[in-house]
Amino acid sequence: MFNMFKTIVSVKTHFRNFISALFFIKRCKCDDVDEHVEFYTEVPEPEVPVHEEIKSIKPMHCGSHLRYRRSCPACAATRG
């Protein structure tokens, strides 16, 4: 079933390319976007600046282990 669908798509693409080459049709390369489409697709910058608070990340353990260890004094100092 998938191979048949792939073949149909391939034939459509081949046919479209053949017609385009026959009548010298090329795709429009302009960057003009319809104002209605642009209104719904592009998000404008907000007029009021948005405040984003940056959280400081505190280490959970010292650099000599992969996780926190209760028996390590350096881990207890960084967590405490």
pLDDT at residue number 11: 74
- For residue 5, pLDDT beyond 60: no
pLDDT at residue number 52: 79
What residue segments make up the domains of the chain, in order of their start?
1-27
pLDDT at residue number 4: 56
- For residue 1, pLDDT beyond 60: no
> pLDDT tens for residues 21-60?
888 777 666 666 677 777 788 777 888 887 778 777 777 7
pLDDT at residue number 69: 87
- Determine the Cα–Cα distance for residues 72 and 61; give it in Å rounded to an integer: 9
pTM (2 decimals)?
Answer: 0.29
